[in-house]
Amino acid sequence: MIFRQMFDAESSTYTYLLADEKSGEAALIDSVQEQAERDAKVLKELGLTLKYLLETHVHADHITGVTRLKTQFAEAKSVVSAQGGAPCADHLAQDGDLFQLGELEIRVLATPGHTNGCISYQVGDRVFTGDALLIRGCGRTDFQEGSASQLYDSVTQKLFTLPDQTQVYPGHNYIGLTSSTIGEEKQHNPRLGGGKSKAEFVDIMDNLKLAQPAKIMEAVPANLKCGNLSEVSPA
C-alpha cells in the first residue's frame, strides 16, 4: 500500500493519501482547498488514479479540496456521511459501506459526536478517525449538532473495540504528533481513556470553554457545498 500523511500548517489538518500499488487506484482523506495543487502533484508524480475523495465530516476549520481536485481528476467520487448535510457529494456514506482501491478495502465506521455526520475509515490495521478521536484528545462537541454523549459511545463502543495495535491517524494534531494506536488511546487519552465514565467525559466536554474556530462562518457553508465556492451565497 502507498501511504502518505500530509499536513496543512494553517489549520493543522492531516490529509491522507492511500493507494493500491498494483492498480494505482488512490483515495484522499480530508483534502484541504489550499493544498489541492500539492496533492494533485503527488498523485500525478506517483502515476495514481484518484478514485475517491473521502471526508471524515463537514469541517469547520478549513474548506475541503474536493471541488478544486475534481477539476483535475474528473473521475474521482466524493464521499460524505449521509448525516453530514452535504447532498452535493457523489456518495452519501452509511456505517459499513465499503470502498475498494484495487485490493485495498476501506470500511466506513459511523462515529458521530464531534458532528452528527462524522465517520471514520478503517483500512487494514489503520483507522482514520477525523476529529472523533485525536491523539490524547478528541474533537469538540459544541456545534454542528455535536454531542458529547454520542461521541463517548462512538469512541468507546466502536473505535475502542478495534484491535489494540490498530494505528490511529487523526484529522488534526496541534503539537506535532502524527499517529497513535487504539491501545495507547484506551490507556492514555485524558478524556476518554483509563476507563473514564460517560458522565466524566460529558463534564469535561461541557467545560472546555473554547472560542469559535476562526473560519467556521466561511468553512461550514462552503463544505456543505463540497467546497464549491460559486454555490455559496454571500452572507
Binding site for Fe ion (CB under 5 A): 131
Cβ distance to Fe ion smaller for residue 20 or 61: 61
Contacts of the segment 174-180: beta carbons below 8 A, 24+ positions apart: 174/12, 177/135, 177/136, 178/5, 178/14, 179/5, 179/135, 180/135, 180/136
Q: Minimal distance in Å, beta carbon 170 to Fe ion?
A: 10
202, 142 contact by CB (below 8 A): no
Separation CA 108–CA 102 (nearest Å): 17
Q: What are phi and psi of 91, to 5 degrees?
A: -135, 130
Q: 231 by DSSP, 3-state: which?
A: helix
Q: Tell me the residue ranges of DSSP E strands in 20-103.
A: 25-29, 49-54, 77-81, 91-93, 98-101
Q: Which residue is nearest to Fe ion (CB)?
A: 131
CB of 228 to Fe ion, least distance (A): 19
Nearer residue to Fe ion within complex by CB, 97 or 131: 131
Cα gap 170→157, rounded to integer Å: 18
Query: Closest approach of Cβ 152 to Fe ion, in Å?
Result: 17
Least CB distance from residue 144 to Fe ion, whole Å?
8
CB-nearer residue toward Fe ion: 51 or 140 = 140
CB 213, min distance to Fe ion, A: 8
Nearer to Fe ion, 55 or 131 (CB): 131
Least distance from Fe ion to the Cβ atom of residue 157, Å: 21
Which helix (H) or strand (E) segment holds residue 17: the answer is: strand 13-19
CA-based R_g, the chain, Å: 17
The minimum distance between CB 151 and Fe ion, in angstroms, equals 12
- Which cell numbers hold the place of 49? 488514479
Q: Which is nearer to Fe ion, 15 or 26 (CB)?
A: 15
Q: Nearer to Fe ion by C-beta: 8 or 131?
A: 131
Q: What DSSP designation does 196 have?
A: -
Residue closer to Fe ion by CB (options 48, 115) is: 115
Of 61, 63, 65, 62, nearest to 50 by C-alpha is 65
